[in-house]
Amino acid sequence: MDNYMINKIMQPGYFYARFGNPTTDACADVIAQLEGAEGGTLLTTSGMAAISLVMLTFLKSGDHLVCQFPIYAGAIKVVEDILTGNNIEVTWVDSNESVEAFEKTIKPNTKMVYIETPCNPKMSIPDLESFGKLAEHHPQLITVVDGTFGSVYVQQPLKYGIHISLHSCTKYTGGHSDITAGCLSFCNKELYKNAHWYLVLLGSSLSPSDAFILHRSLKTLPIRMERHSSNTLAIARFLEKHPKVEAVFYPGLESHPHHTIAKKQMKHFSGMTSFEVVGGKEVGSKLVEVCKNKIIDIT
């Protein structure tokens, strides 16, 4: 890319949609306000595009990544198939471990700590405040949180000192199964500019039409998330009392080991839950088959 194009990217104004457009920026600005993102927000073509973008922008050959396990399966494949193949070292830490366990794995070449909250699928809730303080002791670190299971309405990781907040907007933010999209929100402009450069180069910019639809969905996000959360809490409480349920994983339940942390950093507890049935995998598989295309009354 020649200097003319580079200068164009760095200057205000619009001249080519992949480099930026007013419709996409209008939507990004709303998400940035919801996130408390002083650095701004970038919109991508999918959640996977956001995950790939943040890893490819800030990790280089010879770097070390500390990553929570489990995380979204697509993110695991990016780490295993792309990052490790490009000489990036990875250390996995169980999602139920404390921040101290993550800190013990940090090396001089560690450049990123990557976590999810709530965690997919264990529904673990890492303490965002504790992870936000990691960079105070390790200034080379960038902390990244995938908050897709919570949404930009339910929690704001940047307010706890996290550097980058990531979401698949295909899920709660879009909410209507009519687009795929992702977003990255930044604590400062330097991180934003670095990621924006890679966004343009990789062609991951969200289209104006999809940004318009996403902007529409943001108007109903609060009421949708409140109802998602109240409905799921009712389901989780029902399952917790069911004799054929072994365990229920939902941060809104007092029995959840991270319930106190969840209350501190989440407005609501979201619509995601998981549970284990008595009888293990075989019984669980039968339950899934029975539930297909059926509405079950739990009242």
Q: What percent of the chain has pLDDT over 90?
A: 87
276 located within any domain: yes
Say which residue the tokens 């909250």 belong to. Answer: 117
Q: Are residues 204 and 225 in the same domain?
A: no
The last residue of one of the domains, among 175, 190, 218, is: 218
Q: Are residues 42 and 8 in the same domain?
A: yes
Q: Are residues 124 and 146 in the same domain?
A: yes
**Annotated catalytic, 2?**
no
Confidence of residue 59 (pLDDT cuts 50, 70, 90): very high
- Report the CATH number that the domain containing residue 169 is assigned in CATH: 3.40.640.10
Kindly name the residue from 8, 18, 193, 237 that is annotated as catalytic.
18
The last residue of one of the domains, among 200, 218, 236, is: 218
List the one residue out of 270, 151, 169 whose CA is nearest residue 214. Answer: 169
Kindly name the residue from 72, 114, 172, 192 that is annotated as catalytic.
72
Q: Are residues 42 and 139 in the same domain?
A: yes
Q: Are residues 149 and 100 in the same domain?
A: yes
pLDDT, tens digit, for every residue of 149-176? 999 999 999 999 999 999 999 999 999 9
From residue 158, alpha-carbon distances to 7, 78, 133, 142, 170 in Å are: 30, 24, 11, 12, 21
Confidence of residue 15 (pLDDT cuts 50, 70, 90): confident
Kindly name the residue from 63, 111, 114, 171 that is annotated as catalytic.
171
Number of structural domains the chain divides into: 2
pTM metric for this prediction: 0.93
Residue 52: count other Cβ atoms within 10 Å of its Cβ.
Answer: 21
Range of the domain at 170: 3-218
24 located within any domain: yes
pLDDT, tens digit, for every residue of 184-238? 999 999 999 999 999 999 999 999 999 999 999 999 999 999 999 999 999 999 9
Q: Looking at the chain, which runs of residues are DSSP E strands?
A: 40-44, 64-69, 89-94, 110-116, 142-146, 164-168, 182-186, 245-249, 274-277
125 located within any domain: yes
129 located within any domain: yes
For 261-290, what is the mean pLDDT?
94
228 located within any domain: yes
**Annotated catalytic, 72?**
yes
Residue 62: count other Cβ atoms within 10 Å of its Cβ.
Answer: 11
Helix (H) / strand (E) element for 202: namely helix 189-202
Q: Are residues 153 and 168 in the same domain?
A: yes
Q: Are residues 106 and 161 in the same domain?
A: yes
**Annotated catalytic, 171?**
yes
297 located within any domain: no
CB-based contacts of 137: which residues, under 8 Å, 6+ apart?
103
Kindly name the residue from 111, 114, 127, 146 that is annotated as catalytic.
146
In the chain, the amino acid numbered 53 is L
- Report the CATH number that the domain containing residue 229 is assigned in CATH: 3.90.1150.10
Q: What is the DSSP letter of 174?
A: T
If you count them, how many residues does the chain have? 299
Q: Are residues 141 and 43 in the same domain?
A: yes
Given a cut of 80, is residue 298 above it in pLDDT? no
296 located within any domain: no
Q: Are residues 124 and 246 in the same domain?
A: no
Q: Are residues 233 and 95 in the same domain?
A: no
**Annotated catalytic, 146?**
yes
Q: Are residues 44 and 104 in the same domain?
A: yes
What is the separation of C-alpha 89 from the centre of its chain, rounded to a whole number of angstroms? 22
Q: Are residues 250 and 168 in the same domain?
A: no
